[in-house]
Amino acid sequence: MSEATEETRSIKFSRVGDSEKLTKELSNLDGVIGLLIAEDWLEVSYDAAQIQWKGIEQVITNNHFELKSDLLSKWKRSWYQYSDVNVRDNFNHKPHCCNKPPK
């Protein structure tokens, strides 16, 4: 794991499910580094080269947690997905030599 691909995200819930089950499932995901669940919010650190926010969000909703649906929360989640794709793509990019044409 590279520090360049490590991300820390936080999100609020509007409805909370079983916190212990969610903690167990998120901890078992490849790429999850740290996790903190409070009463109505979650903070998760993960390697964006291994797992994307969309996968983490799917685990959250599968465990009967409902994410806040206000405009700011939707924008944050969208930004998380967008930036994770960029981090993954940049991490997997193979640079070419300047003396050779790109393949």
Q: Which of 6, 17, 3, 8 is nearest to 67 (CA)?
A: 17
Give the pLDDT means over successive 10-residue stretches in the chain (103 positions). Answer: 81 89 93 92 92 93 92 95 87 72 66
Predicted TM-score (pTM) of this structure: 0.81
- pLDDT given at position 103: 65
The reported pLDDT for the residue numbered 77 is 94
Strands (E), the chain: 6-15, 32-37, 41-47, 66-67
Q: Is domain 3-92 given the CATH code 3.30.70.100 in the classification? A: yes
